[in-house]
């Protein structure tokens, strides 16, 4: 299986599930050792889940199948350059390589907010549209201290 084969599989999924009204025109596959170990497609509107983007769904599927929270050594093939949520999910999953087809600009032209959100991220936090207030810092900090002192903690 070539890189193109894996991407073509993702493109097939994106078309099929978009036409079936599951969500936006996006899909992704996670590949490890040459084998597809997780597939995902956008299901935001059909599942009422704003986090059900293709990459998130594919990462969750791959982790469930492999019984791990780390996809180190895997690659992700996504039909569109990931939005900030999915890009960070790829980092948290420790996936080192990404193949993409459409760009953030293409997504923006198709009516999606990926580009707008990247522009929000580039702003200082207090200039973003999301209003933010800090409270109870000391009470929450105590829980972090307990974590650091917890001898059987599992790091990720």
Site for a second copy in 82-101 (CB under 8 A): 83-101
Site for a second copy in 116-155 (CB under 8 A): 117, 120-122, 129-137, 139-141, 143-144, 146-148, 150, 152, 154-155
Residue spans of beta strands (DSSP E) within 7-80: 27-32, 35-41, 75-80
Is 55 among the catalytic positions? yes
Where b means 16+ CB within 10 Å and e means fewer, 92-119 reads ebebeebbbebebeebeeeebebbebee
Applying CB under 8 A, does 7 fall inside the site for a second copy? Answer: yes
Helices (H), 51-101: 54-66, 84-92
Q: CB of residue 35 vs a second copy: minimum separation in angstroms?
A: 18
Site for a second copy in 50-79 (CB under 8 A): 50-51, 53, 56, 59-60, 63-64, 67-71, 79
Q: Which is nearer to a second copy, 35 or 45 (CB)?
A: 45
Of 33, 34, 111, 124, the one binding a second copy (CB under 8 A) is 111
Tokens encoding 79:
């039909």
Applying CB under 8 A, does 105 fall inside the site for a second copy? Answer: no
Cα 85 to Cα 33, 109, 113, 118: the distances in Å are: 26, 19, 12, 10
Instruction: Indicate which residues carry an active-site annotation.
Output: 55
């Amino acid at each position: 299986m070539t890189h193109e084969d894996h991407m073509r599989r993702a493109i097939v999924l994106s078309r099929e599930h978009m036409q079936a009204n599951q969500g936006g025109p996006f899909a992704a596959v996670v590949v490890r050792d040459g084998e597809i170990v997780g597939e995902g497609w956008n299901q935001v509107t059909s599942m009422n889940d704003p986090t059900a983007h293709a990459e998130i769904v594919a990462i969750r599927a791959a982790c469930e199948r492999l019984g791990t929270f780390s996809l180190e050594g895997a690659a992700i093939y996504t039909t569109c350059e990931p939005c900030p949520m999915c890009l960070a999910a790829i980092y948290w999953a420790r996936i080192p390589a990404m193949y993409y087809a459409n760009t953030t600009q293409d997504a923006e032209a198709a009516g999606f907010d990926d580009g707008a959100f990247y522009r929000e991220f580039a702003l200082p936090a207090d200039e973003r549209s999301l209003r933010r207030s800090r409270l109870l810092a000391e009470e929450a900090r105590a829980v972090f201290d307990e974590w650091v002192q917890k001898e059987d903690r599992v790091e990720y």
